[in-house]
Amino acid sequence: MGSSRLTSRRRQDQGFKWARIAMAVLATVGLIDTGSITLNRWGWLGQLSCPGGNEACDKVLNSAWGSLFQGAVPLSLMGFLAYLTILTMAVMPLLPGLSENRSELSRRTWWGLFALSCGMAMFSLVLIGLMVFKIGAFCFFCALSAGLSICLLILSLIGGGWDDLGQLIFRGVLLSLAVLLGGLIWASVVDPNRQEAVVDGRGVPAAVKTISTPSAVSLAEHLTKTGAVIYSAYWCPHCHEQKELFGQKGAAQLQVVECAQDGQNSQRELCERKGIDSFPTWEINGKLEPGVKPLNKLADLSRYEGSRQF
């Protein structure tokens, strides 16, 4: 009996090596997934090719729930850090030179792997719910991350060699409820459906609030007069950023083409014919210019000769 207890204790401390390796592999995939999204959001990586359509992925990732602190931090960065922590905890007990503390380190990291993967899986379910019921678009990268989180949780349950399942389930339920409640509260707080942003149901861009300078209004009028067009999507924060540069009166003078399928006055077919795959995209003198442009740059591209006191 003593030998049996010793074997059980060792398994509880060390778990299964194959499970750690599998978790390390999945965490690496998660790092690539969330890292690519983060670099793209920071402008350090080009347009991502999203299975199912780039517009749907852009709509999800650029939504109000795609970032923290009013858009300052991409939510994908938090996912990247979580996967990095999973990877670190998974491989630490496998490193050489830890013979004396390996069992204790293994036991503690298994609890850490379970707790973190459980929290990630529950929060991923909240995000999937938002994607389906609130945003109404499918993002492959987000679904992949959710699937990875669930797989990590399953591996932590199988691989930890748990003896006290009652304690494991109790802690897991408490953690799941806490993450679920916190996630739902956060989702409701950042919901963009505010009174000032709603005009006639869905598909309406946020109102421009900055004050226009006379030069900005003059540039906007010049752009429209010369046939310049800005291809936009109502949910796109970068499109709103571009309009804010012009201000209220200036933005009102722009010729804006709504490319979102569910946007108000959508001209989706025109956007597809033009090959628009990122927002905003300017069309000036027959040439497409993607991305937010400073007003001086727009003035140069359109050969504007008026005042530039923007």
Which CATH number fits the domain that encloses residue 220?
3.40.30.10
Please tell me whether residues 163 and 247 are part of one structural domain: no
Residue whose structure tokens are 């379970």: 114
- 115 and 242 share one domain: no
Q: Are residues 62 and 176 in the same domain?
A: yes
Q: Do 148 and 263 sit in the same domain of this protein?
A: no
Residue 174 lies in a domain: yes
Structural domain of 238: 214-302
User: Which long-range CB contacts under 8 A does 37-42 form with residues at least 24 apart?
Assistant: 37/61, 37/74, 37/76, 37/141, 38/74, 38/76, 38/77, 38/80, 41/66, 41/67, 41/74, 41/76, 42/74
Q: Is residue 229 assigned to a domain?
A: yes
Cα 200 to its chain centre, rounded Å, is 27
**Do 175 and 218 belong to one domain?**
no
- Whole-model pTM: value is 0.67
Tell which of 172, 189, 206 closes a domain.
Answer: 189
Q: Same domain for 237 and 294? A: yes
**Measured between alpha carbons, how far is residue 140 from residues 59, 60, 65, 226, 261 in Å?**
12, 10, 16, 39, 19
Which neighbouring-strand residues pair with 257? 231
Query: Considering the domain boundaries, does residue 291 fall inside one?
Result: yes
What are all long-range contacts of 263-268, with beta carbons under 8 Å and residues at least 24 apart? Answer: 263/203, 263/204, 263/205, 263/233, 263/234, 263/235, 264/199, 264/200, 264/201, 264/202, 264/203, 264/204, 264/234, 266/203
Give yes or no: residues 140 and 227 share one domain: no
Question: What total number of domains does the chain contain?
Answer: 2
β-partners of residue 256 are: 230
pLDDT in 10s for each residue of the chain, 310 residues:
444 443 334 444 458 999 999 999 999 999 999 999 999 878 788 777 888 777 778 878 877 788 887 667 889 999 999 999 999 999 998 888 766 677 888 889 999 999 999 999 999 999 999 999 888 888 999 999 999 999 999 999 999 989 888 899 999 999 999 999 999 999 988 776 544 444 444 678 888 989 999 999 999 999 999 999 999 988 888 899 899 999 999 999 999 999 988 788 889 889 989 988 788 999 999 999 988 899 999 999 999 999 998 8
* Residue carrying the six token digits 């979102």: 260
